Structure 1
């Protein structure tokens, strides 16, 4: 298996994951955070507007309605075998990094080391107060109560440390990504992502230019599939454990 051989010989590896990886945990896939919405919401707004930073400020209850759907979906499922296989790869290869667009926290739950995990779209917990900054770890409890959730200390509106539409990417995560890209990667593996964002596609491009190995695991071909060294047209769940067993 060409991909297993390339990963076996590589020292610095980057695994890029998208919503397709968590689809096997039962989470729907969608542009932005993970497939719960396509097109217009029940409120007649595009999801990009309903689930945006400006909406959280203007109408916190409406924005939280959709954050809560996302939260319930993520809390209602768990990491799958592919998440655990990626964590295993990181144990075998101390210079293996994960760059994820997912906010479900499943990489951490599966044992990926936080210091080699770049959650470029943030995560759903712990919540924090937009007014006083107090941290509140009780996401699941708040989802059972009237929304939006309020701060116990100052009654300000709580929010998750997740990137909503029209918000900037987390500065530290971007810095880490650029620092690691500058060191170069011998192999880049993309899983369950269309890699449509420039900051997701750039590491693939850089590895290819430097002569590194690139592979994609995806049930459907994407705009980048043809340029990869290997395209595996399947779900990560079907191939990741087998792949890691050969390394």
Structure 2
């Protein structure tokens, strides 16, 4: 199939499906101007931190415990690169499909919060979000729009302990609630799985695509490059997320949806 034929085939699948699982990574936010961190041209591509650490070492749970100032420095750098970013057409159109269909879920690796801002509510932020802080020593937690004016690292206003973003750092366990929610979605059943903008190197990201292929459930990948699931999917669109979702939407609707 050429690209237009593949778009027609995928649009037919999306139109027919009532229960869709979208799996998203950094590539979906690239059209909002966000870096892909470790990809070519990304924020940490082939560079060590000023301390001579890899970004995986700097952004680890062990570093947050031992040297929270170092860990927070690079969390803040990531947040600064996300600041002011707005959802793009891909985020908005996925949220619009959720409003139209009984069950449209998003499993995202991203911590930028753009799916939530776009209006997605059936959302599994498996790596958390930088905009929610929690104390490491007491139950205090709060949301922040950004890190402007935040002392780095920030003390807890209640007990004086360390605040940290509610994100999964390298070497930490995934949140059980998120895993349970994903398992419940798959157990209930889906008609279509769509992977967008992720290399799918983590087993829990590739897993739903593999599971769907074993169940003869249609699968789609939207990614300009080759990934861990490229050979598994039913259809591949080698396009950016915003271009692909816009093209699919226009095959199903006369115009883009109005924003909330």
Q: How many aligned residue pairs are there?
A: 243
From 153, 157, 168, the counterpart of 1:148:
153
From 9, 27, 33, the counterpart of 1:20:
27
Deviation per CA, 1:25-72, whole angstroms, max 9, x where unpaired?
11110359x942234222200111111111011111111000101111
What's 1:202 paired with?
207
What's 1:41 paired with?
49
From 71, 75, 89, the counterpart of 2:83:
75
- Give the C-alpha shift of residue 100 in structure 1: 0.4
What's 2:137 paired with?
131
2:95 aligned with 1:90: no
Structure 2: where are the runs of 5+ without partners? 1-7, 253-260
Deviation per CA, 1:72-112, whole angstroms, max 9, x where unpaired?
12223111111001101111112111110101000000001
What's 1:104 paired with?
112
TM-score in terms of structure 2 length:
0.88
Aligned counterparts of 1:82 and 1:184: Cα–Cα separation in 2: 24
Q: Which runs of 4+ in 1 moved over 6 A?
A: none
TM-score in terms of structure 1 length:
0.93
Cα root mean square deviation, aligned: 1.8
Contact 1:89–1:244 (Cα < 8 Å) also in 2: no
Secondary structure at the residue paired with 1:77? coil
- Give the C-alpha shift of residue 147 in structure 1: 1.1
Structure 1: where are the runs of 5+ without partners? none
Contact 2:210–2:232 (Cα < 8 Å) also in 1: no
2:226 aligned with 1:225: no
